[in-house]
Amino acid sequence: MEILGNFAVFEGGDGSGTSTQLALLKDKFAARRRKPPPFFPTAEPAEGPIGRIIRSALKNNPVLQPDTLARLFAADRGEHLYASDGIVERCKRGELVICDRYVLSSLVYQGIECGEDLPRSLNSAFPAPELLLFFDIDPQIAQERLHSRPSLEIYEHLEFQKKVRKHYHALLGEYRDAGVRVEIIDAAQSVEKAAAEVWSYVSQMPILR
């Protein structure tokens, strides 16, 4: 597994708070007195045309086959990584890129839906991040957080999220073995405490030392 320096990802089940934490990190960087390096927070599905189709399909409009979604997530990722001004270009020119969800989301979610072979082969050529933070939370608690949202997406139900958590735990070791720094954040603690933990790991990345 090739590791892309200056690249970190947040992973976790739905309702684990990864987007909130990335937004807090963005504020922290904006307020930082020591300015460089440039910080590029981003997320998958990404904002381009493929990501937009995925976002609609997550609301079941259109209803897509699980294999089609697996292919779309991988195509979206390929653009996100390799387009001009994409993740790879930014990391290589010395920016810190942190992405809310990445390959492991596909191995977990599409692994549950399609079996592990398809998402693995679709994602096998993509580089691994230097740091992976896994936001761990009891799916029951996460589900209570999600219920305040106006509508739920296709994966946001308890039975599926229980499988998601199990699959994440089963796959984290592979990343560790491949040389990725993997850390588990207790996502049930307060937002502030989780943010402090996130910073303790992100600030140790070589680009920030």
Residues that bind ligand TMP (CB under 6 A): 14, 44-45, 58, 73, 101, 105-106, 109-110, 153, 155
Measured from the CB of residue 70, what is the shortest distance to ligand TMP in angstroms?
A: 8
Q: Which residues contact 31 (CB under 8 A, 6 or more apart)?
A: none
Measured from the CB of residue 135, what is the shortest distance to ligand TMP in angstroms?
A: 10
- With respect to ligand TMP, which residue has the nearer C-beta, 112 or 208? 112
- With respect to ligand TMP, which residue has the nearer C-beta, 29 or 73? 73
Alpha-carbon gap, residue 27 to 25, rounded angstroms: 5
DSSP 68-92: HHHHHHHHHHHHHHHSTTSHHHHHH
- With respect to ligand TMP, which residue has the nearer C-beta, 138 or 153? 153
Cβ atoms of 99 and 131 within 8 Å: the answer is no
Measured from the CB of residue 69, what is the shortest distance to ligand TMP in angstroms?
A: 7
Cα 73 to the center of its chain, rounded Å: 12
Measured from the CB of residue 34, what is the shortest distance to ligand TMP in angstroms?
A: 30
* Stretch (H or E) spanning 104: helix 103-105
DSSP 181-206: EEEEEETTS-HHHHHHHHHHHHTTSG
- With respect to ligand TMP, which residue has the nearer C-beta, 54 or 205? 54
- With respect to ligand TMP, which residue has the nearer C-beta, 39 or 73? 73
Alpha-carbon gap, residue 115 to 163, rounded angstroms: 13
Measured from the CB of residue 3, what is the shortest distance to ligand TMP in angstroms?
A: 19
Class of residue 173 by CB neighbours under 10 A (exposed 0-12, middle 13-18, buried 19+): exposed
